[in-house]
Structure 1
Amino acid sequence: MNATPTEPPMIQVDNLSCAHEPGGPDFLSDISFSVYPGEWVSLVGANGTGKSSLVKRLNGLLPASGGRIAVDGIELADSTLGDIRERIGMVFANPDNQFVGLNVADDIVFGLENRCLDRTEMAARLARYAAMLGIEAFLDRHPAELSGGQKQRVALAAVLALEPKVLILDEATSMLDEQAKQEILAQLRQMRETGRYTLISVTHDTDEILATDRMLALADGGLVADGKPRELLADPALLEQLRLRPSFAMELAAALRERGIAVPPRLNESELMEALTQWHSPSNK
């Protein structure tokens, strides 16, 4: 994680409450947390707990019923919506919902045209982010001709071309196959390493959660956990509350221990492989 607690938070949420309609009952209440510059945070919870609804409050897509939100030191209000939305980009589960152009290049520059950038800057950003996401060969193709992973990279490039400080991924890997998911996660890891982006992943995927610096967990209308993913995912009761399935490595480690193979409860596959290699080495015989 590139953030340090001494930095001012990039996102500050204080005592936030959310209702489905004005005057209706709150389905989330008293939500408070900070996200620091360069941090990658996963937002986790069972279906229907309000994860997507919460992140849509961060840039004013949906109104909060109470509390305070500030992004990059700017408090969210009707008068600051434009400033807030310049700082936050969102990528959703279905990239088809974000496509508006006849080809990939049109999609990437669409948001730039709406901001009235000059042609030279638009061309520079198109080239820069197409190269960053490895989609240069697709620029003249219609999005319908692309695979799921390619479409999601295009959607990500279109958002990054707007150069937001905060990137929110709302179940952005949920519709991808394993290979495409790993490609997107690798790209997000690289982005995190640059320190230029603050990332929030709304996800059920254990691999994605483990890639993040910090995990926020929603349940029963509130924030029930905030900590390191490795530690929180090792809690069976919390996994049950969040309706999360343990990672493959966790399940395999548990099965091996049941068969008398003494490996610790590893959380990712590379660590489990290392533990098995050490267990099988002659020095342990």
Structure 2
Amino acid sequence: MRSGLVEFRNVSFRYGENEHWVLNDCSFTIYENEAVAIIGHNGSGKSTIAKLMNGLLFPQKGEIIVNGKQINAETVWNVRQDVGMVFQNPDNQFVGTTVQDDVAFGMENRGIPRDDMLKRIDNTLTSVDMQRYRLTEPHKLSGGQKQRVAIAGVLAVYPNVLIMDEATAMLDPKGRKEIMRTVTDVRQNRHLSLITITHDLREVVEAERVIVMNEGKVWDESTPRGIFAKKTELRSIGLDIPFVAVLSDELRKAGVPITHEALNQDELLEELWISRLTM
């Protein structure tokens, strides 16, 4: 059984004393080496959760535990060694004049010896397929390449948790697919916990578990299949449904005997093939 790595214990947060609670008595656990997607409509608290995990914000109520440490002003720098975050716009994370300088920045702040830094730069740039751009200025890269460098910079400090906060939102479909393939490969090799905060349903179905936020609370959590089986309920809180799931419902209404909830095209084709054999 996997141990809890990130715990939110009755966490509440608001941005001002007279503002509404963005998070309201929110509790959940992220486990070691787990891939979790956090979804919800705009304003449901998703990005606030990411900032709280990384100590960019502190809760007004409740506790947040990361790798056994409660996040507060005294522990925040230690916590940030465990939690790495990649934002929507990679330009906001660049500080170096070249790709290798940017990857080195976080390590320099942590006092990592130069020889170790050089090895980590090599390893992380290779893992995200950006080694050949090592001496390139970041602003000359494409959007997908910039995001790969941002991921490399986070991975270089060896976090236990990688948060992707709408990190593929500015990319085209091909770029999104490539970045998520890279992140999946790195997660499996490094045994990281991956937290994906996204509106992209294709990313959601790749997660092991989905946490659905609504009005600052955990509305539900389950496997992607379990969550997307609740189509009517999801629509009632303003969330979309994968097209394949909608198509499956329409086929059932037309009399096609589809018995399992398909999450992607391959699963739907399998269901159609089985139904054809049994008809």
Same fold (TM over 0.5): yes
Aligned equivalents of 1:137 and 1:97: distance in 2? 23
Q: Given the two structures, how large is their TM-score scaled by the length of structure 1?
A: 0.91
- Note closer, same or farther for the CA distance 1:284–1:272 as it changes in structure 2 (3 Å cut): same
Percent of aligned pairs with the same residue? 37
Displacement of 1:257 after TM fit?
3.8
Partner of 1:203: 198
Counterpart for residue 212 of structure 2 = 217
Match of 1:71 in 2: 66
Q: Residue 131 of structure 1 corresponds to which residue in structure 2?
A: 126
Match of residue 227 from structure 2:
232
Using the alignment, how far apart are the partners of 1:241 and 1:248 within structure 2?
17
Cα distance in 2, alignment partners of residues 50 and 231 from structure 1: 22
Specify the alignment match of 1:93 in structure 2: 88
1:127-183 deviation digits (Å, cap 9, x = unpaired)? 001111111111122222222211111110110011111111101111111111111
Aligned to 1:248: 243
| 1:266 aligns with one of 259, 262, 266 | 262
The 8 Å contact of residues 39 and 213 in structure 1, kept in 2 or not, is answered as: yes
**Paired residue type of 1:139:** R
Equivalent of 1:31, from 26, 33, 54? Answer: 26
Shift of 1:195: 5.9
**CA distance 1:149–1:61, change in 2 (3 Å):** same
Quick one: which of 92, 104, 110 aligns to 1:109? Answer: 104
Conserved? CA contact 1:219–1:241, under 8 Å: no
Amino acid paired to 2:273: T
Gaps of 5+ in 2: none
> 1:251 is aligned with what amino acid?
V
- 8 A contact 1:218–1:242 mirrored in 2: no
For 1:73 and 1:13, the matched residues in 2 are separated by 12
1:47 matched to 2:42? The reply is yes
* Structure 1 residues 45 and 267: CA distance shift in structure 2, 3 A: same
List runs of 5+ in structure 1 lacking aligned partners. Answer: none
Aligned length: 278
Q: Hey, what's the Cα distance between the residues in 2 that align with 1:195 and 1:35? A: 17
Shift in alpha-carbon separation, 1:90–1:241, aligned structure 2, 3 A: farther
1:178 pairs with 168, 173, 177, which one?
A: 173
Shift of 1:119: 1.6
- Superposition deviation, residue 81 in structure 1: 1.1
Give the SS at the match of 2:11.
Answer: strand
TM-score by length of 2: 0.93
Alpha-carbon offset, residue 19 of structure 1: 0.9
Q: After alignment, is 130-139 or 18-27 more displaced?
A: 18-27
User: Letter of the aligned partner of 1:222 in structure 2?
Assistant: K
Displacement of 1:233: 1.1
Query: Secondary structure of 2:10's match?
Result: strand
- 3-state DSSP class of the match of 1:266? coil
Q: How far has the Cα of 1:224 moved from its partner? A: 0.8
In 2, Cα distance between equivalents of 1:20 and 1:223: 19
- Distance (Å, rounded) in 1 between the aligned partners of 2:188 and 2:107: 25
* Residues 25/254 of structure 1: CA separation in 2 closer, same or farther (3 Å cut): closer
Q: Please state how far the C-alpha of 1:107 moved relative to its aligned partner.
A: 1.0
**Which is further off, 90-99 or 232-241?**
232-241
